[in-house]
């Protein structure tokens, strides 16, 4: 499949790995918007939040526990951070493999 993040998972495109297990992969965003900017993705190709089905419930829960783990590893847990998943055109999603941005390491604003 011609998917950038599937190619990152299988190593065809290099990435700076932060965390990996059987179901998820996390790596540094190539264009960070904060001191910490990590992307976490399911290894299963799901195009966006709107492609999640009931059979993915365990996977999505697992991914959120991995977010917690990464937040602690990156020392984001005490001061806080943001988890973002851009969806579709108005959400400005650019890569159509479900991914969650983990952004932190500075005070974030909320202006869209
Ligand atoms: P989106 O805009 O779909 O929410 O997020 C896609 C993210 O993927 C962007 O933050 C962009 O910087 C990141 N990205 C795009 N291409 C690459 C790449 O080849 N490697 C890495 N590590 N990140 C990428
Ligand atoms: Zn994919």
Domain ranges of the chain: 4-104
pTM for the full model?
Answer: 0.98
> Which is catalytic among the residues 28, 62, 97, 99?
99
* pLDDT above 80 (res 1): no
Residue in this structure with the two tokens 């399911």, named with its chain if needed: 42
Query: In CATH, which superfamily holds the domain spanning 4-104?
Result: HIT-like (3.30.428.10)
Q: Is the pLDDT of residue 112 over 90?
A: no
Separation CA 40–CA 101 (nearest Å): 7
For the Cβ of 14 lying below 6 angstroms from any atom of ligand 1, the answer is no
Is the Cβ atom of 34 under 6 angstroms away from ligand 1?
no
Mean pLDDT over all residues of the chain?
Answer: 97
Summarised one tens digit per residue, pLDDT across range 75-108 is 999 999 999 999 999 999 999 999 999 999 999 9
Q: Is 64 considered catalytic here? A: no
Structure tokens, 83: 């988890």
């Amino acid at each position: 499949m011609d998917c950038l993040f599937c190619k990152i998972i299988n190593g065809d495109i290099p990435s700076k790995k932060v965390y990996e297990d059987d179901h998820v992969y996390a790596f540094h965003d190539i264009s960070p918007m904060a001191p910490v900017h990590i992307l976490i993705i399911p290894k299963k190709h799901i195009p966006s939040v709107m492609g999640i089905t009931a059979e993915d419930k365990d996977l999505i829960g697992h991914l959120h526990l991995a977010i917690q783990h990464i937040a602690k590893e990156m020392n984001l847990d005490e001061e806080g951070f943001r988890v973002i998943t851009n969806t579709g055109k108005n959400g400005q999603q650019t890569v159509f493999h479900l991914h969650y941005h983990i952004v932190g390491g500075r005070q974030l604003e909320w202006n869209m």
